[in-house]
Amino acid sequence: MAIRVLVVEDSGFFRRRIIAMLESDSCLEVVGEASNGLEAVVQAGRLEPDVITMDIEMPIMDGITAVRKIMASRPTSILMFSMLTTEGARATLEALEAGAVDFIPKRFAEVTSHPEELSRQLCSRVAALGKNSNPSTRSASRSAVAVNPALASTIPISARAPISKRRQQYQLIVIAASTGGPAALPLVLNKLPVTLPVPLLIVQHMPANFTPAFALRLDQQCAINIKHAEDGDLLQPGRALLAPGGKQMTVEGRGHEKVVRIQDGDSALNYKPSADIMFSSVAQLYRGQVLSIILTGMGADGREGARLLKQGGATVWAQNKESSVIYGMPGAVAKANLTDEILDLESIGPSLAQVFH
């Protein structure tokens, strides 16, 4: 059965091109279109699509407001079209907090100069969301954080919350995420105390001009300090470093200290930043003293890095399928039998805090 898609875009030209791209894939069926947020809300209720592509800036009702209304009435997987500007990054992050699950850059030039590449990206994203997403579960857990981050502290620790090792055996936490990560990461990080005794490194697949705004947003939401990583930053207890988009982040020793290195890396690599590359560098330095966590995301980035970590005696947790937007990355690690624990998203933060209590 084809995945049913609603296209929401105020530009008639861009809307027609999006529809043509989606209809080029036999797995996708465009069931409706809308030119503003209000039409989108009505069409979403009437047509009940599997996936909605949504512009942000529209007349009558903007895309962020439309996302909130749709997620409140009938949770649906929503893919945002985002302008690659600082303001566009902030608006996109707000849309993700409101309930959207993923975003794709909106480049008008690509529509005429590289339509095949844009079409490939668009169809693969929509197909993955239509086949694998779980919007109703995601909406319920996300809404509590979006309304009031402090409410997250009321979520009970899972009955099987793991304490795989004593806290003194861990010297570092590493987290990897992709699709669904911008909403999942706050749910994990805002459970951690300001007194967290170890450093934390984060890889989130995200464009270069989005990661500074995302790091700032996380820092405002969480007790621990969260910084957009720069080359030479020291790993310090109670501080998380977010890998810059478009770069590779690794760790190296400098005497008794550890610092991150931010480099361009191999242009042929699919992911910049890459969890595999970051995990691999950590495995060499820390061996079994690492607690690694793989959250929701497309693809299998993190699996081979997790394999190296496990070989050194490190611990690997993965988010479960039921709470993942896309069960690609955590599913790949679980399928490879590399996980020590598979946890619901709402249990990961409390379980992590319990380890370092």
Average pLDDT along the chain: 88
Given a cut of 60, whether residue 155 has pLDDT beyond it is no
What are the C-alpha distances in Å from 213 to residues 31, 70, 92, 187, 295?
Answer: 35, 25, 10, 18, 20
Instruction: Give kind and range of the element (H or E) at residue 227.
Output: strand 225-228
The residue from 119, 139, 178, 323 that is catalytic is 178
Residue 205 annotated to the active site: yes
pLDDT, average across residues 122-128: 93
pTM metric for this prediction: 0.86
Q: What ranges in the chain are assigned the alpha helix state H?
A: 12-23, 37-47, 63-73, 86-98, 108-113, 115-132, 135-147, 181-189, 211-221, 275-286, 303-311, 329-335, 345-355
Given a cut of 70, whether residue 110 has pLDDT beyond it is no
Confidence of residue 152 (pLDDT cuts 50, 70, 90): very low
Confidence of residue 100 (pLDDT cuts 50, 70, 90): very high
pLDDT, average across residues 160-171: 60
Alpha-carbon distance 115 to 333, whole Å?
34
Label residue 28 exposed, middle or buried (CB < 10 Å: 0-12, 13-18, 19+): buried
The residue from 55, 301, 344, 347 that is catalytic is 301
Alpha-carbon distance 333 to 336, whole Å?
5
Residue type, 125: R
Buried (b) or exposed (e) across 173-189, using 16+ Cβ within 10 A? Answer: bbbbbbbbbbbbbbbbb
Q: What pLDDT, on a 0 to 100 scale, did the predictor assign at position 142?
A: 44
What are the C-alpha distances in Å from 329 to residues 162, 184, 300?
Answer: 21, 14, 4
Given a cut of 80, whether residue 267 has pLDDT beyond it is no
Which residues, 6+ apart, have CB-to-CB distance to 313 below 8 Å? 287, 288
pLDDT digits 0-9 by tens, 225-252: 999 999 999 999 999 999 999 999 999 9
Given a cut of 70, whether residue 151 has pLDDT beyond it is no
CB 42 within 8 A of CB 33: no
pLDDT, average across residues 140-163: 38
The residue from 205, 228, 280, 347 that is catalytic is 205
pLDDT digits 0-9 by tens, 272-325: 999 999 999 999 999 899 999 999 999 999 999 999 999 999 999 999 999 999
Tokens at 97, concatenated? 């907090």
Alpha-carbon distance 346 to 203, whole Å?
20
Select from 80, 316, 351, 298 the least CA-distant residue to 191: 351
Question: Following DSSP, what letter does each residue of 151-207 receive, concatenated?
Answer: GGGGSPPPTT----S-GGG--EEEEEE-TTHHHHHHHHHTTS-TT--S-EEEEE---
Domains, in order of start, for the chain: 3-133 (3.40.50.2300), 158-355 (3.40.50.180)
CB 43 within 8 A of CB 14: no
CA 351 to chain centre: 20
Q: What pLDDT, on a 0 to 100 scale, did the predictor assign at position 140?
A: 42
Q: What pLDDT, on a 0 to 100 scale, did the predictor assign at position 81?
A: 92
**CA within 13 Å, CB half, 332:** 21
Residue 301 annotated to the active site: yes
Confidence of residue 165 (pLDDT cuts 50, 70, 90): low
Q: 83 or 113: which carries more pLDDT confidence? A: 83
Tokens at 55, concatenated? 């512009």
Tokens at 190, concatenated? 């805002």
